[in-house]
Amino acid sequence: MAGKLYIVPTPVGNLEDMTYRAVQVLRDADLVLAEDTRTSSVLLHHYGIQARLQSHHKFNEHQTVQLVKERILGGLNVALVSDAGTPGISDPGFLLVRTCAEEGIEVQTLPGATACIPALVSSGLPCDRFCFEGFLPQKKGRQTLLQQLAAETRTLVFYESPYRLVKTLEQLAEFFGGERRCSVAREISKVHEEHRRGTLLEVAAWFREHEPKGEIVIVVAGAEPVKAEKKRRYERGEGQEEGE
């Protein structure tokens, strides 16, 4: 009888954010796949979990996914964790989940910690409809994507490195307009958690003077519907005769 694949979220900061179910699944798993076994070892030790760990990250997942699939088909229950948050959300996981799903293996994803939702809810920006973009492309396609997103009316959520934060905020201001409201969440659930709110230009100026550290989530207000429609019409070559 085939085993199961469990997708297990891990804390993005405070180790106490683990759920009871997540701890139990990791205790019962025959094999735990970890993005970084050293990082995951700290978490497992904290909860007294003795588990067989195997490395599974973006540099080796194409080589290991078939082997993991065969082990699950052979009856092993396998749990996948990332360094922080939910696997598959800007972390390794998608390839393994797709492979198992196509094979008919049961995949159970546990609810739990992720950085984007606390940042979104704490931002003070509308969160009934939002668009998660993860990390922007570093080079190819970055400007094209920003041009497309400029007319997006839903609240936008991005992940970013502290080393690129100011540059990204400045680019967002360039493409979206410097007065667009935003919130930058830093070190969510950790001791030095911070939420810096204001316009894109204001928040960029703040972090130019105060070096950011830790994990970063940027939340940006969506475009106003009327302005977004005018922009789309302009790009289609409509409305020029009306002075738009």
Opening angle at CA 222, ends 218 and 223, nearest 5: 135
For residue 187, what pLDDT is reported? 94
Angstrom distance (rounded) from CA 43 to CA 204? 34
Residue 244 confidence (pLDDT) above 80? no
Provide the 10 A C-beta neighbour count for residue 172. Answer: 25
pLDDT tens figures, 188-215: 999 999 999 999 999 999 999 999 999 9
Q: Element (H or E) spanning 40, and its range?
A: helix 37-46
Q: Which residues contact 123 (CB under 8 A, 6 or more apart)?
A: 155, 182, 183, 185, 195, 197, 219
Q: What percent of the chain has pLDDT over 90?
A: 86
Q: In terms of C-beta density within 10 A (0-12 exposed, 13-18 middle, 19 or more buried), how is residue 209 classed?
A: exposed
Contact 79, 29 (CB under 8 A): yes
pLDDT at position 145 over 60 = yes
Q: Locate the DSSP E strands across the chain.
A: 4-7, 31-34, 53-55, 78-81, 106-109, 130-135, 155-160, 181-186, 194-199, 216-220
Question: For domain 116-231, which architecture applies?
Answer: 2-Layer Sandwich (3.30)
Nearest CA to 204 out of 181, 228, 227 is that of 181
User: What's residue 232's pLDDT?
Assistant: 65
Q: Helix H segments across 126-224?
A: 142-149, 165-176, 200-209
Token digits for 57? Answer: 């990250």
DSSP-based three-state secondary structure for 194: strand
Angle CA 165–126–172, to nearest 5 = 30
**In this predicted structure, what is the pLDDT of residue 241?**
46
Instruction: Tell me what the mean pLDDT of segment 39-63 comes to.
Output: 94
Predicted confidence band at 110 (pLDDT cuts at 50, 70, 90)? very high
Q: Is the pLDDT of residue 102 over 90?
A: yes
Q: In one letter, which amino acid is 107?
A: V
Query: Hunting for tokens 């609810």 — which residue is that?
Result: 111
Tens of pLDDT, residue by residue over 56-88, are 998 998 989 999 999 999 999 999 999 999 999
Task: Say yes or no: do domains 4-109 and 116-231 share a fold.
Answer: no
Question: Dmax over Cα atoms in the chain, in whole Å?
Answer: 71
Residue, of 238 and 105, whose pLDDT is higher: 105
> Domain coordinates of the chain in residue numbers?
4-109, 116-231
pLDDT digit string, tens, across residues 154-182 = 999 999 999 999 999 999 999 999 999 99
Q: How many CB atoms lie within 10 A of CB 184?
A: 27
Q: Which CATH number fits domain 4-109: 3.60.15.10, 3.40.1010.10, 3.40.50.2000, 3.30.70.260?
A: 3.40.1010.10
Q: Model confidence at 234, in pLDDT bands (50, 70, 90)?
A: low
Block residue for tokens 């701890």: 23
